[in-house]
């Protein structure tokens, strides 16, 4: 199957959670960080979590404590309450995905990462798919969770979909997953189920067999994350088609 990987997917460096700079009042995953990326000529990557009332919120963490004055789970509050929270003490608030999409307005490519707890819950994927399908602009969807990526084949078949992965699973979040699933994640053993159009692989794990073979034989572009310094940038240029970056301007 020929992958759905349009040229815009890798045409521009991708600003990780927008072109954020907390010290400058541009926190990650906010409208201000998105606007900064647009002004810089970059594509945007953002994360989404599910609110208590089923809305997709542009926010990375499962809990609110790192970036807001609240400490409970994102999923414990309705969208209106989440949208009222200031991010990192700035003038910015947590955006809903509909508001975020309206703000970007198709001016630059957007890659949306659908967060998951690997529970089989598809509510967030369904909401994101509905919004992204109706969006008038270049947009792609991705997730670490193969179940989510496989579901997107049906939920949004016309949109590029990707798997986010890493070879060395050092994050404590992986500890709760079955060894068979962890191996499937690191070795891309779910490929027949997910059929991703692109890969998004951790830069320090490249080169690796799955990404190399998908790029060489499967004609699937490889994005790499998260590039933060000159050495990683050179590594990305050798082993990937585009980088997800933060902390500098390419």
Instruction: Report the pLDDT value the prediction gives residue 1, as an integer from 0 to 100.
Output: 76
pLDDT digits (tens, 9 = 90+) for 96-119: 999 999 999 999 999 999 999 999
pLDDT digits (tens, 9 = 90+) for 21-48: 999 999 999 999 999 999 999 999 999 9
Angle CA 202–207–210, to nearest 5 = 80
pLDDT digits (tens, 9 = 90+) for 207-247: 999 999 999 999 999 999 999 999 999 999 999 999 999 99
As a whole number of angstroms, the distance between CA 193 and CA 8 comes to 25
pLDDT digits (tens, 9 = 90+) for 120-158: 999 999 999 999 999 999 999 999 999 999 999 999 999
Q: Where are the domains of the chain?
A: 7-245
Instruction: Report the pLDDT value the prediction gives residue 26, as an integer from 0 to 100.
Output: 98
Q: What is the mean pLDDT of residues 193-199?
A: 98
As a whole number of angstroms, the distance between CA 14 and CA 98 comes to 20
As a whole number of angstroms, the distance between CA 220 and CA 23 comes to 37
Q: Is 2 exposed, middle or buried (0-12, 13-18, 19+ CB in 10 A)?
A: exposed
Instruction: Report the pLDDT value the prediction gives residue 131, as an integer from 0 to 100.
Output: 98
pLDDT of 9 higher than 90: yes
Mean pLDDT over the full length of the chain? 97
Q: State the CB neighbour count (10 A cutoff) for residue 8.
A: 15
Torsion over CA: 74, 198, 103, 124 (sign) = negative
As a whole number of angstroms, the distance between CA 48 and CA 125 comes to 10
214: left (phi over 0), alpha (psi -120 to 50) or beta: alpha
pLDDT of 162 higher than 80: yes
pLDDT of 3 higher than 90: yes
CATH 3.40.50.740 fits 7-245, yes or no: no
For β-strands 56-58 and 43-50, DSSP reports them as: antiparallel
As a whole number of angstroms, the distance between CA 200 and CA 225 comes to 7
pLDDT digits (tens, 9 = 90+) for 55-82: 999 999 999 999 999 999 999 999 999 9
């Amino acid at each position: 199957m020929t992958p759905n990987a349009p040229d815009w997917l890798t045409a521009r460096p991708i600003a990780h959670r927008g072109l954020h700079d907390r010290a400058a009042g541009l926190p990650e995953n906010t409208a201000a960080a998105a606007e900064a990326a647009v002004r810089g000529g970059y594509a945007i990557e953002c994360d989404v979590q599910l609110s208590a009332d089923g809305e997709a919120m542009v926010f990375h963490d499962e809990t609110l404590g790192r970036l807001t004055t609240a400490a409970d789970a994102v999923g414990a509050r309705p969208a209106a309450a989440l949208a009222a929270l200031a991010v990192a003490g700035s003038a910015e608030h947590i955006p809903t995905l509909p508001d975020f999409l309206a703000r970007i307005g198709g001016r630059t490519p957007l890659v949306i990462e659908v967060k998951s707890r690997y529970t089989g819950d598809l509510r967030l994927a369904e909401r994101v798919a509905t919004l992204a399908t109706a969006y008038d602009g270049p947009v792609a969807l991705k997730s670490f969770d193969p179940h989510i990526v496989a579901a997107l084949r049906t939920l949004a078949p016309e949109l590029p979909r990707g798997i986010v992965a890493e070879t060395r699973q050092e994050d404590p979040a992986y500890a709760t997953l079955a060894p068979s699933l962890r191996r499937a994640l690191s070795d891309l053993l779910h490929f027949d189920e997910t059929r991703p159009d692109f890969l998004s692989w951790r830069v320090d794990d490249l080169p690796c067999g799955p990404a190399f073979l998908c790029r060489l034989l499967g004609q699937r572009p490889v994005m790499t994350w998260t590039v933060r310094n000159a050495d990683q940038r050179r590594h990305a240029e050798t082993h990937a088609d585009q980088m997800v970056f933060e902390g500098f301007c390419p």
